Amino acid sequence: MCTNEDRINYLDHAATTPVREDVLEKMLPYFTQKFGNPSSLYALAGEARYGIDEAREQVAEVLGARSAEIVFTGGGSESDNTAIKGVAAARALSSARSPSNGHIITTAIEHHAVIHPVEQLEKMGYASTVIGVDSTGRVDPGEYAAAVRPNTFLASVMLVNNEVGTIQDVSEISRQVREAADRAGTSVMVHTDAVQAAGKLSLNVDDLGVDLMSLSGHKIYGPKGVGVLYVRRGTELEPLIAGGGQESQMRSGTENVAAIVGMGEALALSEAERVSSRPRIQALAERLIEKIAERIPSSIFNGSHIHRVPEIANFSFVGVEGEPVLLGLDFRAIAASSGSACSSASLEPSHVLLAMGISPELAVGSVRISMGRETTETDIDDILQVLPEILQQLGTFPAGARS
């Protein structure tokens, strides 16, 4: 068990990650010596501008894109909002069409940074189709593509789900959507929220067949408050933030140079280590899933055993809510998260788990364990020892045969 009071067993990497030392070192000069405004003309500004240009090239290389297609934003949520609202606004302006003529396709398990912008557009008169998922959290590409209509202009599907780690077959979905769009005589832009996929899967935009991709710095050991929106050349997009015309008119505002530099470096390092780190994380994940099933027979693994990233594992525990389990873990210096969001003193079940057909009672008893580059076998052993003890204290362990 974890006995060092100064050390936290951090198993919530899907929520955020610490800035790694080499990323921080590259960022630091842009707070002090290289502090110039990149839009100015003198040499000091040129140093800042060079930092942004280098970061843009780093991101473009990872995505297999052109540097001119990379837009830096204030985070993943801003990138999602810009993609969805920006494409809708550009369509309305270029064609003088009313919102009622526009249709969007998305899924039931998207991050709220996608769901809520779509809902906002619905209030403005746009139509949307929300595609469900199977019990593992997977979307059927054929069902998704079948939703394309003559007035469909945008399709958004996440690459890796943030709660259960399920991987969507974005390349196949994109292919079938484009075929369906051709038959319907329309053109559909494909957007993917790849925030949880960075450092875990290939982000090659051509292989995925996407026109827009959202990324976030703080999920990959970079700083908070910075993200990326990939915008394929030729994609019409109205900026969410207008003003000084930075980021090629796509995102106004004086650039957060240090954060952008950190984002580029973090993504490059994560991609460089992606393949070599996989066996270690895979082994930890297999041990975690196997031993929880063994030691907590009533536990239920949520998600796909096949189409998933090993970094994220989600479990439901019969007869408990997630919050007291997390508090018990926190008391033992273990940080994890729940599929339940505390709102107005009541626990709301995860919309992702509900979409997978999991009952509200089980959904509120879910715990997400997400591993990262610092996670060790000892960390996994710690939670495997502590978790049954907490459930026993809550009066739910042992809870019978596994569901």
Q: How many CA atoms lie within 13 A of 383 on its CB side?
A: 32
The pair of three-digit structure tokens given for residue 335, joined into one six-digit string: 């940080």
Q: Give, as one character, the DSSP assignment of residue 28.
A: G
Dmax (CA) of the chain: 71
Question: What are the C-alpha distances in Å from 163 to residues 110, 302, 318, 366?
Answer: 10, 9, 18, 10
Q: Which of 342, 393, 400, 402 is catalytic?
A: 342
Copy the structure tokens of residue 352: 């992702």
d(CA 352, CA 341): 12
Q: Return the sign of the alpha-carbon dihedral for residues 134, 304, 166, 341.
A: positive
Give yes or no: 2 in active site.
Answer: no
Are 226 and 78 contacting, i.e. CB atoms less than 8 angstroms apart? no
Cα–Cα distance measured from residue 241 to residue 346, given in angstroms and rounded to the nearest whole number: 35
The DSSP code sequence of 285-352 is HHHHHHHHHHH-TT-EEES-SSSB-TTEEEEE-TT--HHHHHHHHHHTTEE-EES-EEETTEEEPPHH
Q: How far apart, in whole angstroms, are the C-alpha atoms of residue 103 and residue 94?
A: 16
Full 3-state SS string of 173-192: HHHHHHHHHHHHCCCCEEEE
Closest CA to 221 of 31, 13, 70: 13
Eight-state DSSP code of residue 168: P
Q: What angle do CA 358, 110, 122 make, to 5 degrees?
A: 110
H or E segment to which residue 369 belongs: strand 366-370
Task: Tell me phi and psi for residue 10, to 5 degrees.
Answer: -90, 110
Residues with a catalytic annotation lie at 342
